[in-house]
A = this chain, B = another copy of it.
């Protein structure tokens, strides 16, 4: 029997994703008996509204998780690494939205529409995948289940809110400066911690996260490795090119994929995706119906359109996948994991 409510902690409550987590917990009417809002020292003391009640954000400490059932972490990888064990020690299950534990083989990496059952293997920590990965696997999993999947080549069109609220602010301030012919100095994008910063307004930057020695960015390698782990397809061919756009919120993806079966039509894929969990099909090109980032904001679905057959490869298809990177890409997927933990009886 389910409890009437659960003690939920949100670590990183004042950040872009933390704020969306609170909004999502509110909208989805998540059963909460107690809410503990935590942050680093820098943001502690800030006031945050939840269901009309003002909460004060507390500075996280090793004892913050006493009595917590589920702790939603979204305060950066180093904070997760420091506090996950403390949360576990107090019996909380951590749902971590950073990349700290995603590729740890003892940590399930979960998108409920794809691999909800992996939650049973948790050892106290569950990882929430990278935003650009989540929306892609939601689109690909129904296809894999019915027609098999051997290859994925994705080019992304990613929004700046993936880099946090300060990056969104930078986009708007830079845009204003350019329009008014004023000076500006890029300070955050493409990557706060990297050496150089570039104009994002009216531009496209082919760098998200730092570069690795192999010429790929960490973001690209996240998409590649996380997709294989979530879908449990270690031999799937996956390639990714990740690009930052002057879009505040909403990631788009141009995805080429190959199924195992021949003779599959675009209509077969459309029929499948029209009924797929978490998906809204928007695919009527002759009436100019297709997903766009400006239309996906504040919605929890993954929007899919432009499904068409490759003209050369009998097993090849193309599609265009858009979702709110702060919701399904982060906050909503985390809250969904929390819902699944309750539904499956893992959190009692």
Q: Which A residues are closer than 8 A to B by beta carbons? A: 151, 153, 155, 157, 172, 175-176, 179, 190, 194-196, 198-199, 202-207, 211, 213-217, 224, 237-239, 241, 243, 245-248, 252, 254, 256, 266, 285-288, 290-294, 305-313, 316, 318, 320
Contacts and interface: CB of A to CB of B under 8 A. Distances in A.
A312 B237 contact: yes
Contacts of A175: 175, 179
B256 A153 contact: yes
5 contacts: A153-B153, A206-B305, A215-B266, A241-B306, A246-B246
B206 A313 contact: no
Nearest to A158: B204
A183 to B, nearest CB: 15
A195 to B, nearest CB: 6
A305 B204 CA distance: 14
Across chains A and B, which 4 residue pairs bring their CB atoms closest together, nearest first? A215-B308, A155-B155, A155-B254, A237-B312
Given A204-B252, A206-B305, A294-B202, A311 B224 contact: yes
Interface of A is mostly: mixed
Number of copies: 2
A202 B206 CA distance: 17
B157 A239 contact: no
Given A237-B312, A241-B318, A293 B155 contact: no
A287 B198 CA distance: 13
Contacts of A313: 237
B239 A316 contact: yes
Contacts of A286: 211, 213
A205 B254 CA distance: 12
A254 B224 CA distance: 16
A291 B172 CA distance: 23
B308 A214 contact: yes
Residue picked from A190, A239, A252, A308, most chain B C-beta under 10 Å: A239
Nearest to A249: B202
